[in-house]
Chain A
Amino acid sequence: MLALVSPALLVILALIVLPVGWLAWQSVYHDGFTLENYRRVFTEDVYWRSFALTFEISLAVTGIALLLGYPVAYLANSVPKGWSILILSLVVLPFWTSVLVRAYAWLALLQRTGVINQFLRYLDVISEPLALVHNTFGTVVATVHILLPFMVLPLYATMQKIPGDLMQAGASLGASPSLTFFRVFLPLSLPGVLAGCTMVFVLCLGFYITPELLGGGRTVMVSMLVSRNVELYNQFGAASAVAVVLLLSVLLIFFAVSRFISLDRVLGQK
């Protein structure tokens, strides 16, 4: 058994454990042991603002992705097989386009001279173009679009396992369709909701491209702090301290979630 898993373990050791360890080491060791990098992270309010903004954006993105993703997963689950394959392929299709291209596509849609503003002006709905991008709004819109599949797929997988008989049983006892949904289906789909939300939230915490391209320079998420610190302090430690704090927050979230639901489920194993 050990012989079979050892190649995989070696890959994990070489590509994840060692670099992350090296990263953490750099954050506390630079010409001697130092906590300077962490002092900066925990005392300068620039960092606090970035972490707060990152968590706000991640919460907003997760909430919107859930509201948009749940009906899609529900629909895919309730139509015949052929249709559900079609719906799911439409969900997965954007994966084939690079994140960078999708971010630029949103720029073309949202900017002052973009498609949406031009259309609204053509309809005379607005007289001045709306500020849809170069701010937090544009960042959230594009991030939701990019992360949506990570919400839909776990939701769909969970819904697939809810036996259809249960809804029929509810109906035979006289419950209306909405009552069976809220009392039977929704509670049974909650593990999928939690799984999807955790995936989207955690991925969003480390997002870089959408805030960088669509945030107008003001939307400084934690990932951007990491890259900025390399430039500003000319050493990796200042950046890795930020990365280590972010990594610990993610682990903390996984730990909290695992108190409610088995991690296998979050990662889509069961």
Chain B
Amino acid sequence: MIMKRTIGLGCALLGAIGLTTAADAAEQITFVSQGGAYQQAQTVAILDPSAKKLGITINQDSIPDAWPAIKTQVGSGKPIWDVVDTPTGYCLRGGEQGLIEKLDFSKIPNAAAMPEAYRSPYSVSYEFYSSVLAYSQKTFPKDAPNSWADFWDVKKFPGRRALRNHPIATLEAALMADGVAPDKLYPLDVDRAFKKLEEIKPHITVWWTSGAQSAQLLNDGEIDMEMAWNGRVSAVAKEGAKVAFTYNQGILQSTSLCILKGAPNLETAVKFLNEAVDPVHQANLPLHIDYGPGNPKAFETGVIKPERAAQLPSEPANAAKQALMSYAWWSSPAGEAAEKRWASFMQK
């Protein structure tokens, strides 16, 4: 699996392994992300340059949902992976359950310099995406919906709507629609959020389950507005569909890097973690894909042109308009209870 992934991702990397097997035997790590265009962008922007700078070999693996594998690997006592790029909530939950190493930030100066909200004792933000309000420009050529209150206002903004079939980010949107300020959301008032959601429920045509589905709905004109991930919306727009989105009241979400408990190459993994959030490597990521750097210092490097920065979810001015998701709240007992309550809300 690891070999296959490496072949798929870059012959240069494979060449490096082939030529220098003996020398590299000591310094290597296995890095895991989610595959696809996203992992390829990282390979070019972050992984290959980091490997070169540190003189290590980075073996890559990919998996859409790393959580079950983290549990089994650490549970077996002999993990194969070192560093995982996964939604931040899993790093926190894993940390609490003893599956993830606690980080010593004195050895990770690049992360130590990041704002506190961008890291946890177990993880460092790696990249940002946002759950935004997207709409059809055909339906709304002007006076488009610009806030969750607008999304909830079915009289002023008639049209078909879609939301994600998941409480994360959806409850936040409901509370903002009800007048809660983006920086005053946590701890979420779950009762209030579900009450607000009951209001919009009859007007939701589709509760989407995958990012691909949300893109298809927008692209085919099946719905007029929806909550979707910014990268999905801009991809649909790039293909020529008349769609747009606003960062106003978006919910800023991240994946983070964390290290498996008992990782086979712990020391190298920590070194890599520091290198991976280096501002320059981080600044290179959005040149290859529509995600924002996890380290805000990336915007000060000059690598990202101002017009490109303006499109990114974590650019400081865009970030200021949004709510920063609290993964600590979602992995708390209250968050887990809210997640379970979603099912009975959907089927009522």
Interface residues of A (CB under 8 A from B): 44-46, 49-50, 111-113, 131, 134, 212-213, 216-218, 220, 228, 232, 234
CB contact under 8 A between A217 and B346, given known A111-B220, A111-B222, A232-B339: yes
Which residues of chain A have C-beta atoms less than 8 A from B207's C-beta? 216-218
Known: A220-B347, A232-B339. Contact between A112 and B209, CB under 8 A?
Answer: no
Given known A-B contacts A111-B220, A112-B221, A134-B206, A217 and B165 have beta carbons under 8 A apart: yes
Chain A contacts of B165 at CB under 8 A? 217
Task: Find the B residue at minimum CB distance from A217.
Answer: B207
Q: Give complex CA distance A216, B164 in Å.
A: 11
Chain B 148-171: CB-based contact to A (< 8 A → 1; otherwise 0): 000000000000100001000000
7 A-B pairs with least C-beta separation: A217-B207, A217-B165, A134-B206, A216-B206, A113-B221, A49-B347, A46-B344
Contact flags B333-344 to A (C-beta < 8 A → 1, else 0): 000000110011
Let me know if B205 is at the binding interface, CB within 8 A.
yes
A230–B33 Cα distance when bound, in Å, is 21
Is B67's beta carbon under 8 Å from chain A?
A: yes
A134 cross-chain contacts in B, Cβ below 8 A:
205-206
In Å, the complex CA distance between A228 and B346 comes to: 13
CB distance from A230 to the nearest CB of B (A): 8
State A113–B136 Cα separation when bound (angstroms).
14
B208 interfacial by beta-carbon distance below 8 Å: yes
Residues of A within 8 A of B346 (CB): 217-218, 220
Q: Which of B206, B207, B344 has the most CB of A within 10 A?
A: B206
CB proximity to A under 8 Å, residues B210-251 = 213, 220-222
With a cutoff of 8 Å between Cβ atoms, the chain A residues found around residue B71 in the complex are 234
Chain B count of residues within 8 A CB distance of the other chain:
20
Q: Is the CB of B208 within 8 A of A228?
A: no
Residues of chain B whose beta carbon lies under 8 Å from any beta carbon of chain A: 67-68, 71, 160, 165, 205-209, 213, 220-222, 339-340, 343-344, 346-347
Instruction: Give Cα A218 to B205, complex, Å.
Output: 10
Say whether A212 contacts B340, CB under 8 Å. no
Contacts of B213 in A (CB 8 A): 213
Distance between Cα atoms of A213 and B217 in the complex (Å): 12
Quick check: B343 and A113 within 8 Å, CB to CB? no
Which single residue of chain B is at the shortest CB-CB distance from A53?
Answer: B347
Check A217 against B220 for contact (C-beta < 8 Å): no
In the bound assembly, the distance between CA atoms of A111 and B206 in angstroms comes to: 11
Known: A46-B344, A50-B347. 17 other contacts (CB 8 A): A46-B343, A49-B347, A111-B220, A112-B221, A113-B221, A113-B222, A134-B205, A134-B206, A213-B213, A217-B165, A217-B208, A217-B346, A218-B347, A220-B347, A228-B343, A232-B339, A234-B71
Question: A108 — nearest CB in chain B belongs to which residue?
Answer: B220
Of chain A, the residue at the smallest CB distance from B160 is A112
Residues of B within 8 A of A44 (CB): 344
